[in-house]
Amino acid sequence: MKKKCPKNRPIGVFDSGIGGLTVVKEIRQLLPREDILYFGDTARLPYGTKSAELIKRYALEDANFLYERDVKIIVCACHSASSWALAEIKRAYPIPVIGVLEAGARAAIKATKNGKIGVIGTRATIASDAYERALKRINYEHGLNRAIEIVAKPTPLFVPLVEEGFIDHPITRAVAREYLKIFPKEGIDTLLLGCTHYPILKSVICRILNKGIKVIDASYETAAMVKDILQRKDWQKETGRGSLKIYLSDITPEFEKIAEQFLEEKPKVILRASLKEKITIKE
């Protein structure tokens, strides 16, 4: 396949659904000239409750869809996929691959003073221990000779609450109080939002935590990392306003409504990307 000059190739972003559009929103603000191809695997979402083996296979298929469309960088905007599949995707493709998890972990290591970091995410993200490993590795790479202590808590109701439109809602505040009550006790000074839906709840979360705790939004940090890589490689697009094409493997009216909420703009192009499957279910 003959590749165009990287400057004019799009940025590829994928997620298990539409949560990754919170990353797209940040990329469009930081890099408004860049074209973006987004793939949301809405036919098979969520990944967060599925097994590691299945998440790996799905993530490789998603990355391949983007790679075949000549993207210059692949952004894995799904925390569950970043936890389990990022190394495989990096091995499979000769272009830069970055994941929300690593971007969030880097920012948390920079932010923490006392080395005590809280992480919230889906069950799969938290169970993978991927944040723990990433935080410790990055701390070591930065030559910071200090102990890092991680307090991880799965918060699986946050995604359905956001998708139900219960944002600054008494029920959401009650759920957040229940989930977050362990963090002040544990003495963390930094909380990492380990799921792409969570930035939508950032103001609710910040109000419940005491002021001393910094809240890290991995969607923003991922966009900043994309910008940094493109700058270093001199791959930034130089003219025009960036386009956004959203491919979904299943389309429903709810997905379109939530997409708009996450993007903070009305998506112009939503296309169906079918899973061409030949399925037999076997013992």
Question: Of 45 and 107, which CB lies nearer to a copy of itself in the complex structure?
Answer: 45
Interatomic CA distance for residues 59 and 82, integer angstroms = 9
Catalytic residue among 5, 76, 78, 206: 78
Which residue is associated with the tokens 């200090």? 146
Helices (H), 41-96: 52-67, 79-92
What is the Cβ-side half-sphere exposure of residue 151, based on CA atoms within 13 angstroms? 17
Burial of 208 (0-12, 13-18, 19+ CB in 10 A): middle
String marking each residue 98-137 x if it binds a copy of itself according to CB under 8 A:
-------------------------x--------------
Q: Which residues ranging from 141 to 170 are in contact with a copy of itself (CB under 8 A)? A: 156-157, 159-161, 163-164, 166, 170
Q: Which residues ranging from 47 to 66 are in contact with a copy of itself (CB under 8 A)? A: 49-51, 54, 61-62, 64-65
Strand order in the sheet with 11-15: 97-99, 73-76, 11-15, 36-40, 244-248, 269-272
DSSP 157: T
Whole-number minimum distance, CB 271 to a copy of itself, in Å?
A: 6
Question: Of 49 and 243, which CB lies nearer to a copy of itself in the complex structure?
Answer: 49
Using CB under 8 A as the binding rule, whether residue 243 contacts a copy of itself is answered as no
Strand 11-15 and strand 73-76: the pairing is parallel
Q: Which residues bind a copy of itself (CB under 8 A)?
A: 39, 42-45, 49-51, 54, 61-62, 64-65, 123, 156-157, 159-161, 163-164, 166, 170-171, 174-175, 178, 247, 249-252, 254, 271-283
